[in-house]
Structure 1
Amino acid sequence: MITITCAACGRKLFRYQKIGKGKLLHCWKTRISSDYTIRDGDQVYCPCGHHIGVVEGPWINLHGGSFTVRGSALK
């Protein structure tokens, strides 16, 4: 399980079950266990107002550099 936080303010955005070693490019909605973000249509924002990503079907496409990751992924 990993914790995704805002790069601007450090607040928690998601608790996410990542599988594999690759970069985190998007989050599958079904693997998000806790969601602390704000949605405006298909746009995803941190509570501080920083733009995090866009909802695209079954996943959230994350903007690189807008978040940091802590924790470890499943292999």
Structure 2
Amino acid sequence: MAKPNKKGPVKTVDIFCSKCGVKLFRYRKGGKGALVKCFKERIAEDFTEELGVCPQCSSVFGRDTLIRGTPALKMVGGKIRMK
């Protein structure tokens, strides 16, 4: 399978914790669907100490995985909000 585009999309979205509302990171998202996975190379700004864990309420919102041979976060449904 093909790897994701290195440069990625220009449009960025803010990702928030749905439980406490703290800003987790800014992500260069392509398309208009739901956020199911986040490629690590597309994360523009990261506000978490540990990737996949909310810094304020310590809820786990993503699991570390490889998708198409590229490091990514697989999102847990309902744990994040996107603006």
Normalised TM-score (structure 1): 0.82
Distance in 1 of aligned mates of 2:49 and 2:52: 6
Distance in 1 of aligned mates of 2:33 and 2:19: 23
2:50 counterpart of 1:45:
no
Deviating runs (4+, > 6 A) in structure 1?
Answer: none
Normalised TM-score (structure 2): 0.74
Post-superposition shift, 1:21?
A: 1.6
**1:10 aligned partner:** 21
> What 5-or-longer segments of structure 1 have no aligned partner?
71-75
Percent identity over the alignment? 40
Are the counterparts in 2 of residues 3 and 16 from structure 1 also a CA contact under 8 Å? yes
Q: Map 1:1-75; keep pairs closer than 5 Å.
A: 1-39=12-50, 44-47=52-55, 48-57=57-66, 58-70=71-83
* Larger CA Rg, structure 1 vs 2: 2
RMSD: 1.3
The structure with the greater share of residues assigned to strand is: 1
Deviations 1:20-50 (A, max 9, x none): 12211010111101111232xxx72101211
Residue aligned with 2:52, SS: strand
Distance in 1 of aligned mates of 2:77 and 2:40: 18
In structure 1, give the amino acid aligned to 2:74: N
Residue aligned with 1:51, SS: coil
> What 5-or-longer segments of structure 2 have no aligned partner?
1-11
